[in-house]
Structure 1
Amino acid sequence: MDLFTSFERLSLNQITTEKLTLPEAVDACARAEVPWIALWRHKVEQSGLAASKRIIKDAGLQVSSLCRGGMFPAATTAGRQARLDDNRRAVDEAAELGAEVLVLVCGPAPDRDIAGARKMVEEGIEQLVPYAEASGIRLGIEPLHPMYAAERSVINTLAQANDIAERFRQEQVGVVVDVFHVWWDPDLYTQISRAAGRILGFHVSDWIVPTPDLLMGRGMMGDGVIGIRRIRHAVEAAGYAGLIEVEIFNKAIWELSGDDALSLVKARYIEHV
């Protein structure tokens, strides 16, 4: 019997309550006694970096990660430099907020050359590593489901993410395992084992059938077909004892109050994670 009944590892990924401001999301976490929050840069920008840091500290919360860096590929050298500059700002923000991990959503190809775009991702991460290391920030490469290859990321399997991460020291670059993006992969459990020591984040949601929307169709844990608990056991067997972020893009869940959303998250976390 799985006795996973504690909330000490639970983190609310802010996108799950997208309609809430940062102060509202923090207040909801505090009321629900959820100790961690994963921040999105656009929400931090709305409240301001210094104010966001103060609000989180005053509520007694801690930051599990910052999303997102990445989006490295661009059609021109100047464009790629601009992306790198933005990633350095993201590193600065993560350090200021006390997040040890910057999640990298690596970006799509600017044209039809997907292999070239993947090379741009590798080069972008290589250029970012020294800056991130100097700030004490680890880079977590999050592979996205292949259906996002054209518009969000050309890194689409955990094997691809591992290939890049292994070019660097474990203290610098790792991977983020999001069940929504990797559950389908026949090589998943081999690649999770391969990532031992490099898993920097674990994100949970569910895959609804039929899938209502490519972006906004994630389900609350238990509403779909993913074997979430088996994947959790695998990442733990690979040495991951870190935080578990609930990250759900779903307009119906966004319409819930913060209190109702957190209550549902906690119930499903215990039952299905």
Structure 2
Amino acid sequence: MMGRTGAAKASKSGLDEVGGAEVGARSAAHRRLSINQATIKYASLEDALRVTAAAGVQSIGLWRESVAEVGLSEAVARVSDSGLRVSSLCRGGFFTAVEGAARRASIDENRRAIDETATLAAAGADGSAAVLVLVAGGLPAGSTDLPGARQRVRDAVAELEPEARASGVTLALEPLHPMYAADRAVLSTLGQALDVAAEFPAESVGVVVDTFHVWWDPQVIEQIARAGAEGRIASFQVCDWVTPLPQDVLLARGMMGDGHIDFGPLSRAVTAAGYIGDIEVEIFNQAIWDADPAAVVARTVRAFAESVTL
């Protein structure tokens, strides 16, 4: 398992034509870089695995939707054949509904996601991480009870944690930028996510540090250090914050170096906190989605080497 404790293996693939200092930069990128499928959203699972491996990248972050398109058994076979590590599965969560049929359905769906995470991580190459990314969910329709929604997130994690622990899966709470608090995630800061996680064993409940969501937080360096001290960094995701924000703010992410985030302090803080796992590039951006996936992966490798200080 990679995540918090595994060691990434070096890759020499795709570097033969590159010379001098760039070899070292590209090599470092290839050791830790993971392509989250969201970055190449329109690529099928087969194509995503192919273009990632062809670029010499050794790890991929999977999405449940693409796994469902081919079925879990077929997805397992394709992941195994690819030789790639699995850095995470996105996503579970969305469990802020009040008790009733909708909440029960959400909890059951998360149970299935835990099983899928364990199965896909086992199919990946050595160093794969059994990490299920959790997005908390927003306010239920018609509700303004933010504290109540946050309590229901805690309750859901408490219900799911024993099953995650038994399966060897880490539930990774991902705080989202406050602009998503109403409709996507009532956990808005790394500190809030850590407060929820603190009630459970570190091996089964951790957090995601995503630069897009935390870069603005005045306490982010302090909270990254706290996460490291508690052994709770389950995933590190990077992308940039670009302006002007698009009409659909979900698509406001950009390639590293295209926006306003200073990646050096954040990546150094995560490294100092002891995280040695894969680093996912996860970008929601229409122009990037519309581009050729192989070209996007190649661009990602370059941008990662130039922007992310390991």
Q: Distance in 1 between matches of 2:25 and 2:279?
A: 12
* Alpha-carbon distance, 1:182 to partner: 0.3
TM-score of the pair, normalised by structure 1: 0.97
Map of 2:195 onto structure 1: 163
Instruction: Report the 3-state secondary structure (helix = DSSP H, G, I; strand = E; otherwise coil) of the residue aligned with 1:69.
Output: strand
Structure 2: segments with no counterpart, 5+ residues? 1-23, 122-128
Q: Is this contact kept in 1: 2:181–2:188, CA < 8 A?
A: yes
Aligned to 1:224: 259
**Pairwise CA RMSD of aligned residues?**
1.3
CA distance in 2, matches of 1:54, 1:234: 37
Q: CA deviation at 1:244?
A: 0.3
Instruction: Note the 1:72-87 alignment, pairs <5 A.
Output: 72-87=95-110
SS at match of 1:210: coil
Q: How does 1:1-273 map to 2 (within 5 A)?
A: 5=26, 6=28, 7-98=30-121, 99-110=129-140, 111-196=143-228, 197-212=231-246, 213-273=248-308
* Helix, strand or coil at the partner of 1:215: helix
How many residues are aligned here?
272
1:76 offset after TM fit, Å?
Answer: 3.6
The alignment's TM-score, normalised by the length of structure 2, stands at 0.86
Shift of 1:75: 3.4
Query: For residues 133-187 of structure 1, what are the alpha-carbon distances to aligned partners after superposition, in whole Å with 9 as ceiling and x for unaligned?
Result: 1111011110000000111110000010010111111111111000000000001
- Which letter maps to 2:92? G
Which whole-Å CA distance do the structure 2 matches of 1:162 and 1:146 have between them? 16
Does the 8 A contact of 2:243 with 2:252 survive in 1?
no
* Distance in 1 of aligned mates of 2:70 and 2:286: 22
**Quick one: which amino acid aligns to residue 235 of structure 2?**
G
Identity %: 51
Of structures 1 and 2, the one scoring higher in RCO (CA 8 A, sep 6+) is 2
C-alpha distance in structure 1 between counterparts of 2:204 and 2:252, whole Å: 33
Distance change >3 Å, CA 40–CA 252, structure 1 → 2: same
Query: Cα deviation per residue 1:39-70 (whole Å; 9 max; x = unaligned)?
Result: 11111101211111111111111211001011
